Structure 1
Amino acid sequence: MVVRPVEDASVALIVPVKNGGARWRSVVVSIQAQTLRPQRILVIDSGSTDGSDQVARTAGFEVHALAPDRFDHGGTRQMAVEMVPECEIVVFLTQDALLERADTLEQLVAALHAHPRAGVAYGRQLPRPEAGAIERHARLFNYPEQVAEKSLEDTQRLGIKTVFSSNSFAGYRRDMLLAAGGFPRRCSMGEDMIAAARILLRGGTVLYAAQARVVHSHGFTVAEEARRYYQIGRMHAQQRSLLARFTSPTSEGRRFVRSELTYLSLHAPWQIPEALLRTIVKYAAYRRGRRSVLLVEQVA
């Protein structure tokens, strides 16, 4: 039986793209197979040289070209939100996040409609079939099976996890997002966490819609993780006044390490030394990123 997609005039789907390759072509197919058809499907292409922009045009998506040196994770997404003023819900997807089922997008939008206080709902991310144990655990830890709605009152219990969200697959109530200040401009990392914190501080909630699933994970090298955590450290230092209501990320880090070691001891004990090395590298890179911001501010 062929299911005809239902167009939802209140929804925009926005995907930043640059050289998405074969994975992007698979993601496009998963978008076309959705039971919910957004009114706007907007691709922000920042200088693809592999034809990713043409793949989007052939699929019938809108494509907005952006110079590579003008792209940043916060400012580009804020620009995209401002480009769809007629839409009530704005869904963000990354070029490598494969919508797992035909109703994935419908499930995310339905979750927002069912929770009127939610300013953002983010979906569950499943590991790639080829993911190793370390990569797989990271997804299972951060994206469990249980649905959850987080408010400011949960800060004492959840700490920094209260503001955890992911624009790899997340939907926002556009009016609530803009009223909270939108995404930060000139932001290279963590724009989703910043937006979630702003929404929470204005009385909204952050919804984890575990029933809306995408396949999305990364097999980062140690060097790539070091660069990533350096940027996270910089973001936390730059946004420390906003994140002051939430506890230090170190407690969450300890919980992650304990969970990872338990998981690896059961599934891949030979990877425990690598996991410990990665933990040391990530922590050192995070601290260095924080210090880089604080030292500049002291000199200034």
Structure 2
Amino acid sequence: MPINPDHRVSVIIPTYNAGPDFKQLLGRLHNQSRPPQEIIVIDSSSTDGTAETARLAGARVIPIAKANFDHGGTRNAAAQQAAGDTLLFMTQDACPEDAYLIENLLEALYADENTACAYARQLARADADMLERMARESNYPPVSRRKERKDLPELGIKTFFCSNVCAAYRKSVFYELGQFDAPVLFNEDLFFAARCVLNGYAVRYAAEARVIHSHHYTIMQQFRRYFDNGVSMRDNEWVYPYAAVGKAGSNLVRQQLRAVIRSRRWLWIPRLAADAAAKFIGFQLGKRYRKLPPGLCVRFSMHRGIWAKLRSASPERESATGIMK
């Protein structure tokens, strides 16, 4: 289906000390075959010149206090100032692989009237280790897929998978379904995609739209990341019934172990075991965070500054299930 040339894209990038590679990201966005109408950088008081780099590249900068950041609320605040009918959320450490990222995302997003969001394939950086590379390949295969409610028996919670590392949303649906949860530690993209699917919309994985993105997490960083994952899942228990289908995490570990054995990289086995254990323990503790001392939860978290916002939020704040048809 030809893309409507009138679609206007607002790219939204939350930043904090984005580093020297940020300039390349902004440059590649400007050089897209379908350039965005605007780039909005919402910056959490960076001290490395990130905001000035963005301004020099023609981006609109929204400054916020570092203490005011959270994954959902910060993105919502930027979206409220966006002029486009398409919201393209990216992270500061992702970079378009070629000049057709936005064009391919738009093709996926507007392929039919029922698609609410489309997310890009993530390719590991050249310096990514074997385990990280396999994780990207597992979560972001080379074949595109349209996911909707009828896929839940097969895919379970993976039906809801979507990544704001690079994901485009129809602005109209974004507001219809209540924006991202806020405040939130983790998974704001997954929870919104879940609302889309449960309300009859589709989510598309666009393998043709590619970004370079991967991490070099330590074992402790993996623990903290998965602790936050567990906390966010506990605070959204309506997702739990869909989490029982499939064993994506354990399947990935088995694939990684087989690859280590095939390549005879025996010294990677302790690293793989520690990595898997950190993720499992972190996630299980996160799901049980309400039984832990508050100070310990903050120490375990990768996003310690968000906990103050979580505590100050009303216990009766509307959950993600509040926008259901």
- Tell me the TM-score normalised to structure 1 length: 0.92
Between the aligned partners of 2:78 and 2:198, the Cα distance in structure 1 is 23
| Corresponding position of 2:73 | 75
Contact 1:8 1:38 (C-alpha < 8 Å) held by counterparts = no
Secondary structure, in 3 states, of the residue corresponding to 1:289? helix
1:3 maps to none
Q: CA deviation at 1:249?
A: 7.5
Distance in 1 of aligned mates of 2:240 and 2:19: 40
1:134: Cα distance to partner?
Answer: 0.8
Aligned residue-pair number: 291
1:169 aligns with 2:166: yes
CA distance in 1: counterparts of 2:245 and 2:75, whole angstroms: 25
Task: Kindly report which structure 2 residues correspond to 1:228-247, keeping only aligned pairs within 5 A, or say none.
Answer: 228-241=225-238, 243-247=239-243
Q: What is the identity, as a one-letter code, of the residue corresponding to 1:52?
A: T
2:100 is equivalent to residue 106 of structure 1: no
The aligned residue for residue 251 of structure 1 is 247
1:209 matched to which residue of 2? 206
Residue type of the alignment partner of 1:253: G
The root-mean-square deviation of aligned C-alpha atoms, in Å, is 2.0
SS in 2 for 1:269: coil
Letter in structure 2 aligned against 1:141: S
Deviation at 1:58, TM superposition (A): 0.4
From 260, 276, 283, give the equivalent of 1:279. 276
The residue aligned with 1:262 is 258
Alignment of 1:152-191 (within 5 A): 152-191=149-188
Question: Distance between the aligned counterparts of 1:175 and 1:143, measured in 2?
Answer: 27
Judge conservation of contact 1:9–1:39 (CA < 8 Å) in 2.
Answer: no
TM-superposed CA distance for 1:198, in Å, is 0.8
Moved more, 172-181 or 201-210: 172-181
- Which of 15, 18, 21 aligns to 1:20? It is 18
Q: Does 1:58 align with 2:77?
A: no
C-alpha deviation, 1:272, in angstroms = 2.1
Render the CA deviation track for 1:129-168: whole Å, top value 9, x for unaligned.
Answer: 0111011111001000000011111111011111111000
User: How far apart, in 1, do the equivalents of 2:230 and 2:244 lie?
Assistant: 12
Q: Do the aligned partners of residues 268 and 192 (structure 1) sit closer, same or farther apart at CA in structure 2, a change above 3 Å counting? A: farther
Aligned to 1:87: 84
CA shift digits 1:200-231 (9 cap, x unpaired): 11100110000000000001000100000000
Unaligned runs of 5+ in 2: 294-314, 316-325
Alpha carbons 2:70, 2:183 under 8 Å: kept: yes
More moved, 112-121 vs 260-269? 260-269
The CA distance in 1 between the partners of 2:291 and 2:8, in whole Å, is 43
Structure 1 counterpart of 2:38: 40
The one-letter amino acid paired with 1:29 is G
How far residue 108 of structure 1 moved from its aligned partner, in angstroms, is 0.8
2:252 alignment partner AA: F
- Counterparts in 2 of 1:168 and 1:8: CA distance versus 1, 3 Å: farther
Secondary structure, in 3 states, of the residue corresponding to 1:22?
coil
Alpha-carbon contact 1:238-1:293 (below 8 Å) kept: no
Measured in 1, the distance between the counterparts of 2:7 and 2:51 equals 24
Gaps of 5+ in 1: 1-5
Task: Kindly indicate whether the alpha-carbon contact (under 8 Å) linking 2:45 and 2:64 is maintained by their aligned counterparts in 1.
Answer: yes
* Aligned CA distance change for structure 1 residues 249 and 28 (closer, same or farther; 3 Å): farther
- Distance in 1 between residues matched to 2:6 and 2:14, nearest whole Å: 21
Query: 1:48–1:268: structure 2 CA closer, same or farther, 3 Å change rule?
Result: farther
Contact kept, 8 Å, 2:33 with 2:100, in 1: the verdict is yes
Distance 1:247 1:51, change over 3 A: same
- Find the aligned partners of 1:60 and 1:249 in 2 and give their Cα distance: 45
Tell me if the contact between 1:9 and 1:38 (Cα under 8 Å) persists in the aligned partners: no
Contact 1:134 1:264 in 2 (8 A): no
2-side partners of 1:35 and 1:61: how far apart?
18
**Aligned residue identity for 2:23:** R
Q: What is the distance in 1 between the residues matched to 2:269 and 2:149? A: 36
* Pairwise CA distance, 1:295: 6.4
Flag the 1:8–1:130 CA change in 2: closer, same or farther, 3 A.
farther
Letter of the structure 1 residue corresponding to residue 28 of structure 2: S
Residue 213 of structure 1: SS of its match in structure 2? strand
**One-letter identity of the residue aligned with 2:229:** I
